[in-house]
Amino acid sequence: MPLVEITYASRVPGATLHHLGSVLPHLVSEAVECPEEPYDGDLRPGDVELRFRPLGPYDRSGLDVVIEVRSKWFESRAANRQERVDQLYDGVAAATGLEDVGVYLSLPVAAWSQGD
């Protein structure tokens, strides 16, 4: 279950952020799919958690949007993490038209539990 934090500049239109929120769960799921956590195309509640936050008055960023993805470490995921993050970047850029985007993929050793 990836946790995704999206930090955005005030110049990014709300419609762009709304569209990003609609496509990002699928793009992230494709990017982190692995044999241990296969993606069947059917997202359910809790599969991908998105958290949007505007840049604060003391934040410093030259990018319109920074997307940080944290997803559980698996060897199969880590083996090609740069390809995965490049794929995610390409999908985000194509879906939004934004050029000043950064995507960060972190694969910590972690566990997840969720109620029904």
> How far is it, in rounded angstroms, from Cα 61 to Cα 116?
38
CATH number of 3-106: 3.30.429.10
- The per-residue pLDDT for range 4-20, each reduced to its tens digit, is 999 999 999 999 999 99
Q: Tell me the whole-structure pTM to 2 decimals.
A: 0.91
Beta bridge partners of 67: 6, 103
- CA dist 2 and 25 (Å) reads 9
Residues 6+ apart with CB under 8 A from 61: 7, 9, 55
Q: How would residue 99 be classed by pLDDT, with cut points 50, 70 and 90?
A: confident
Please determine, for residue 114, whether its predicted confidence score (pLDDT) is greater than 80.
no
User: Could you tell me if residue 42 is left (phi over 0), alpha (psi between -120 and 50 degrees) or otherwise beta?
Assistant: beta
- Confidence (pLDDT) at 110: 73
